[in-house]
Amino acid sequence: MIISTKSLPLAALALCLVLGQPALAAGPHAHEGPTATGRPGLDHGKKWPTDDVLRRGMNDIALAMRQSLAPIHGNAFTPAQYEALAARIQAQVDDVVGNCKLPEQADQQLHLVLEQIIDGAANMKTGARRDQGAMKIMRALAQYGEYFDHAGWQPPDH
């Protein structure tokens, strides 16, 4: 089977969902492994750069979570709604991975955040504790704001 280089990032993400987070490091968009703590870090005390694709994708993920938090906290979010939310978030992650252009070191740090979002979305699709997947995404969005230079970034209030 021949896979084009354009489909490799999506294939890596799909593999990640099947095999778990470590598969993300195998994709062509990934570089070296995560930091020793598994959390992103700053670039010598400064936030990492972003591009339009990344900012647009993260804004949409934050909006999707913002729109969903009240019913999630009220235990009124149905499994179908969790699955739809997870699919919306995964589509944004796929777009970011396939189209954002960051310097190598920033890309490495971004993948630490994206791994958490992917894992949270996977939990929302299949887990008995779907709300825990949503909270994992919320933590990842907060980390994104701590470590990436995204003017006007406001993570959803939790």
pLDDT at 158: 65
The stretch 28-56 carries a mean pLDDT of 73
Residue 32, domain member (yes or no): no
In a domain, 37, yes or no: no
Q: 18: pLDDT confidence band, cut at 50, 70 and 90?
A: very low
18 lies in some domain = no
pTM of the model: 0.76
CATH of residue 153: 1.20.120
Q: Residue 49 falls within a domain, yes or no? A: yes
Looking at residue 63, its pLDDT comes to: 97
Into how many domains does the chain fold? Answer: 1
**CA angle 122–69–60, rounded 5-degree value:** 70
In percent, the amount of the chain with pLDDT more than 70 equals: 75
Give a yes or no: residue 11 inside a domain: no
| Assigned token pair, 16 | 């990640």
- Residue 29 included in any domain: no
Strand partners, 148: 48
Domain for residue 2, yes or no? no
Give the chain's radius of gyration (CA, Å).
15
Look up the domain containing 72 and give its range: 45-158
Query: What are the residues facing 86 on neighbouring strands?
Result: none
Q: Is the pLDDT of residue 39 over 70?
A: yes
In a domain, 112, yes or no: yes
- The whole-number pLDDT of residue 127 equals 76
Distance between CA 57 and CA 98 in Å, rounded?
11
pLDDT class of 157 with cuts at 50, 70, 90: confident
Question: What is the pLDDT, as a whole number, of residue 46?
Answer: 95
Q: What is the pLDDT of residues 77-132, one digit of tens each?
A: 999 999 999 999 999 999 999 999 999 999 999 999 999 999 999 999 987 789 99
Per-residue model confidence (pLDDT) at position 148 = 97
